């Protein structure tokens, strides 16, 4: 698997908690999107670690094509 699976063509809005660590799914195969559930084990992908510094809503990429992982940069709007 050289390209990630498109999990969604929209971002995932997540209320993050301060000082909590999140692992964003980079392969697109996780059943717990947008976060990793270990499904990447048979791919070349690894989850991306993110630690929240404050409570806020963040938009995690669902299409897995972002140039700013783990966050949405609008790339999903260009997918067919």
Which residues, at least 6 apart from 79, have a Cβ–Cβ distance to it below 8 Å? 6, 9, 63, 65
pLDDT per residue of the chain (80 residues) written in tens, 0 to 9: 589 999 999 999 999 999 999 999 999 999 999 999 999 998 999 999 999 999 999 999 999 999 999 999 999 999 98
Q: SS3 for 56?
A: strand
In 3D space, the residue among 44, 23, 45, 43 whose CA is nearest the CA of residue 34 turns out to be: 23
Q: Centre a 10 Å sphere on the Cβ of residue 79 and count the other Cβ atoms it contains.
A: 9
What is the chain's alpha carbon radius of gyration, rounded to the nearest angstrom?
12
CA distance 79 to 25: 19
What 8-state DSSP symbol labels residue 72?
A: -
């Amino acid at each position: 698997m050289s390209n990630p699976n498109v999990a969604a063509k929209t971002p995932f809005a997540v209320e993050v908690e301060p000082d909590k660590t999140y692992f964003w799914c980079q392969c697109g195969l996780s059943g717990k999107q947008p976060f990793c559930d270990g499904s990447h084990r048979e791919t070349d992908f690894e989850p991306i670690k993110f630690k929240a510094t404050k409570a806020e809503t963040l938009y995690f990429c669902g299409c897995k094509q972002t140039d700013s992982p783990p966050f949405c940069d609008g790339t999903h709007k260009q997918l067919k």
